[in-house]
Structure 1
Amino acid sequence: MTALPQAIAELLDEIAGLGVEEGALIHDRRLLALPAMTARRAALASQLAERLAGTALSDAQRAEVERRLDEIRSATADHLALLGSTRDELADEIGRLTTTRRARQSYTAARRG
């Protein structure tokens, strides 16, 4: 592993750390926190782009940045897949709840009527 300038390494670490938190939120179905976290990641990515544009890096350092970004992209793709799966599970659950509610309403109406 090639040493990166501290500011760039810290931004990469923070972006990766938010990715881990996003994965946990998706897994735990705490989805309402995702938009704020996504906005934070976008802001960090913008800062990283500015730092990279203003910093002379060796070929080895550029390769290290690319390696770290590839890891982040891969984790993000995994999170998107998990989010899609979670969305499907939630849709199924909502469908079951809706069906149950309608059945209860029909049963209650039949008992009253």
Structure 2
Amino acid sequence: MDFEIVPGVSAAFAAAAVLKSELTVPEKAQTIIMTRMEGRVAMPEGEQLRDLASHGCTMVIFLSITRMTKVVRELTSSGYTEDTPVAVVYRVGWSDELVIRGTLKDIAPKSQSG
């Protein structure tokens, strides 16, 4: 069987590099969950954003920019505070990369205007 190895970096880790930020912080968050907001395709039982967010760890949420208001609602209802720092990183590593920083309180309107 022929195969090819294509090196790459996950968008999550590329975004952390662009943000100059660590995804884990001693005594704060040692776990990273990578997921997406439920949309056209349902999430398996127990994997809805609200369930995963209840762990209070670092969340990397893919493909959910059009559902940002719901993302914020799910995170805040699961214990994240409105002053939790967040970033939206669009097309990380590409020439049209866009970074929007904020908090859970203001990221939805910021990302809609960005």
| TM-score range for the pair, normalised by the shorter chain length | under 0.3
Higher relative CO (Cα under 8 Å, sequence separation at least 6) belongs to 1
Structure possessing the higher radius of gyration over alpha carbons: 1
Q: Which has the higher helix share?
A: 1
Q: TM (normalized to structure 2)?
A: 0.27
Larger proportion of strand: 2
What is the TM-score with the length of structure 1 in the denominator? 0.27
